[in-house]
Amino acid sequence: MALEIKPIGEVINGRTEVADDYWGGVESVIQLDEAEFPIDSVQGLEEFSHLVVVWHFDQASPDDVEYHARSPRGNTQWPATGTFAHRNHRRPNQLAQSFPRLLAVDGLRLRVTDLDAVVGTKIYDVSPFFTEMGPRGAVREPAWPGEMLVDYWAEGS
């Protein structure tokens, strides 16, 4: 059975251009659907430092989805890895999750930083980040994500 979900909000302020890097210092605003949600649906959220935001790569084409192994960002110095070893828009449902810092709650507007989604991006879920629900144990990863993302959170020019 297919899952049908509808957006709960949208990014209305922040970065406007899609890019691979330089997301540092970007402040964004997520506007939750005022017709759908009462103001108390965000009650208590301001007490959390970080959110988990699920969003859709809605500016990417479904034709970009790739199921085969490929080198990240086309760089053959990094190993070819399968679709589920990537975190980009070439995934089956083109869904993403980010962990932005929550700066302020103003009604149903959430001001955040470190959200790597652009203005117009549809938001499908927002929840607080609970440390206890984060990774348990040591985190292991190969070297290439750190090499690839060295400028991801660098300040833009």
Tens-place pLDDT, residues 44-94: 999 999 999 999 998 888 888 888 898 888 889 999 988 888 888 888 888
Which of 11, 36, 14, 37 minimizes the C-alpha distance to 122?
11
Q: What are phi and psi of 103, to 5 degrees?
A: -95, -40
Residue type at 111? Answer: R
Which of 144, 146, 2, 120 minimizes the C-alpha distance to 55?
120
pTM (2 d.p.): 0.91
Could you count the other beta carbons within 10 Å of the beta carbon of residue 64?
Answer: 12
Which of 21, 156, 141, 140 minimizes the C-alpha distance to 78?
141
State how beta strands 51-56 and 95-98 pair: antiparallel
DSSP 17: S
Q: How far apart are CA 152 and CA 82, in angstroms?
A: 21
Tens-place pLDDT, residues 138-157: 999 999 899 988 988 898 75
Taken in order of first residue, the domains within the chain and their CATH numbers are 9-148 (2.40.30.70)
